[in-house]
Amino acid sequence: MKDRTCSLSSFSTYLHKGFDLRRHARRMADARTGPDISPASIFLALFHAFVFRLPSVQQLETELSHSYLQNWIGAERAFRDDTLRYSLCSFKLEPLEQLLVESNRRLKRRKALDAGRVQGRLVAALDGVEVLSSFSRRCESCLERRVTEKEKTGQTRERLQYYHRAVGCQLVSSLVKPFLAVEWLRPGEGEDTAALRLLARLPQLYGSRFFDILLLDSLYAQAPVLELAQQTGWDVVITLKQEKRDLYQDALGLFQARGPDQIFSASQEGKTYAVRLWEESGLPFTQDYPRPLRVVRTQEEVTETHYRGDQKQTETTSHEWVWISTLAASAFPAPVVRRLGHLRWKNENNGWMDLTQHWAFKHGFLHACRHRPQHRPPSGKRELVPNHGLAAVTLILLIAFALCTAFVLRHSKRARRDHLTGLAVAAQLRSGLSKAPPSIRAPTESPSAPNLG
């Protein structure tokens, strides 16, 4: 029997019935006047490029020359890279963010985020990512840094480098790991400032209890972050690093004089962990945030078996961890705090890393692009509209990422049964596009429904 669970038509139905993608697409807007390729078509074209993991804008151009893709995105004709750039650089970000928020809300309502809850709680994490860097191309919102390079002669020289960096908040306890929002670092500010702005915006977008626990790196371990989390009602687990933290030294001093409170072993992903664990409640964080916090420290011997040819090799390494947390000891025993601290998302599929490697995230093609519409601000003189290209592309990527992984994990029995990778599913969906053009056109619309364009 033909298995259609992974077909493009089922994906299309999922998007339009489940997430109202077409209604959202119609709300997209940019600063062009009277364009014949609508912002909805531009959005759907790039969404398609991400879903099918097209490797480049050139590849998207090629695909757009086929009528089946034009049909799918509601465009009257083919269009090229310059139309994409002209539109995306002036894209309105609000409708994109609304679609991301609405999609995540629907995923939660349908319990797609429930598997993996920790003691019944949803867990999110903050993480930063560098999106692009350049020595030559710069725009008005570039960050700058000095980079030391070694030349062929052996001499070193300093060069000014331009780059863009963002902080994202991602759900990490569930199988589907959607990003909730991103915030871009502005010139001259630190990642902690952007993180605070992001955390302050999240309750406005989602309400305060969309998730329950926030995982943070020690970079964000600052009184304003803890205060904001407390006001919002989030518990935190912060991974402390050795540098600069009085609390880290206090904790180590406290634990040095005594043996571990617990000794246990755990296995995960082919590794075994021999864990010695200490915990203490009621340590003040800093003078400017005197609320007492819980500290959990572990020493872990991690044993891993490698195969080199036929040779089995066992390797053991030692690690030390310190976490601080606001979680109550009664509901979250220390080994659970440890597990939260170790929740892996950065290096596995579905983190920023995955997006940069397998979702063609490095989209320099819009950076410092001057091919964009003009406007006349109240001050009088006509000027280019602000370039939103990078932010728009990032939001479209995060929408595609959330909806694709949710579809694969929740709706494609075959993907689960055959352990198909995301890339294999993308290839299948893409091949479906050219095989069955009529059936994929808006299966939820009546024949008389207006075209998207």
Nearest distance, CB of residue 129 and Zn ion, angstroms: 15
Nearest to 343 by CA among 191, 174, 212, 128: 174
Pairing mode, strands 311-325 and 374-375: unpaired
139 vs 420, which CB is nearer to Zn ion? 139
Q: Which residues pair with 265 in a beta bridge?
A: 274
Q: Which residues pair with 292 in a beta bridge?
A: 284
Assess contact for 178 and 106: CB atoms under 8 A.
no
* 384 interacts with Zn ion by CB under 5 A: no
Nearest distance, CB of residue 390 and Zn ion, angstroms: 8
Q: Count of residues binding Zn ion (CB under 5 A)?
A: 2
283 φ/ψ sector (left φ>0, alpha ψ -120 to 50, else beta) = beta
d(CA 297, CA 103): 38
165 vs 201, which CB is nearer to Zn ion? 165
Residues 142-181: x where in contact with Zn ion by CB under 5 A, - otherwise, as a string: x---------------------------------------
CB half-sphere exposure, 130, CA atoms < 13 A: 11
90 vs 222, which CB is nearer to Zn ion? 90
Nearest distance, CB of residue 94 and Zn ion, angstroms: 22
CB half-sphere exposure, 170, CA atoms < 13 A: 27
Nearest distance, CB of residue 368 and Zn ion, angstroms: 6
134 vs 299, which CB is nearer to Zn ion? 134
Distance (Å) of CA 96 to CA 27, 43, 81, 165, 301: 9, 9, 20, 19, 45
Nearest to 451 by CA among 34, 103, 36, 62: 36
139 vs 302, which CB is nearer to Zn ion? 139
d(CA 76, CA 451): 9
142 vs 385, which CB is nearer to Zn ion? 142
140 vs 310, which CB is nearer to Zn ion? 140
Residues 126-145: x where in contact with Zn ion by CB under 5 A, - otherwise, as a string: -------------x--x---
Distance (Å) of CA 6 to CA 10, 29, 287, 430: 7, 31, 56, 11
Nearest distance, CB of residue 378 and Zn ion, angstroms: 26
Nearest distance, CB of residue 413 and Zn ion, angstroms: 44
Nearest distance, CB of residue 172 and Zn ion, angstroms: 29
Nearest distance, CB of residue 143 and Zn ion, angstroms: 8
147 vs 423, which CB is nearer to Zn ion? 147
Nearest distance, CB of residue 88 and Zn ion, angstroms: 15
Residues 303-332: x where in contact with Zn ion by CB under 5 A, - otherwise, as a string: ------------------------------
Q: C-alpha 321: how far from its chain's center?
A: 25
What is the secondary structure of 91-145 as a DSSP string? --HHHHHHHHHHHHHHHHHTTTT-TT-BTTB-EEEEEEEEEEEESS---TT-EEE
Assess contact for 98 and 156: CB atoms under 8 A.
no
7 vs 387, which CB is nearer to Zn ion? 387
Query: What is the contact surface with Zn ion in residues (CB under 5 A)?
Result: 139, 142
